[in-house]
Amino acid sequence: MKKEKAFWIAVLSAFVVLTGGDILIHQFWLKETYQGLAQYWRPEVEMKEKMWLAFLAAFSLAFLLAHIYPKGIETKSPVGEGLRFGVLMGLLLYLPSVLVKYYVYPYPDTLFLKWFVGGVAQVTAAGLVIALAYGKK
């Protein structure tokens, strides 16, 4: 029962971190960049109608990260483990994705760099809160 409780605390904590990170990155940090590329995005009304998909994506990522994390725990501190896990998962998720997007889409180079840095930072923070939720091995 203790493991199950830790799992759900990890999922919910990571979901909050990922959702908060999305808001900070996309609504504040990249807002100006996105406004300059408005012709490439759905109209705001459509995006609001489909916002539930962004929440589903964040929840599914939080769930999967929290599920995978305990499989590779070593005996190190939760902070070190969480940061290691978060960086590795961030690189796994964002490096190939951003490289393909860079190849396909005609966006400014800085947008790809910001997507990469922001994404890895988000997943690293999620890894940290997941590790703290699970505690020591």
Q: How many structural domains does the chain have? A: 1
Predicted local confidence at residue 1, as pLDDT? 59
Weakly modelled stretches of the chain, pLDDT under 50? none
Predicted local confidence at residue 3, as pLDDT? 85
Query: For residue 105, what are the domain limits?
Result: 2-134
- Give the C-alpha separation, 40 to 136, whole Å: 46
Predicted local confidence at residue 75, as pLDDT? 74
Task: Please state the pTM of the whole predicted model.
Answer: 0.92
Residues 56, 118 contacting (CB under 8 angstroms): no
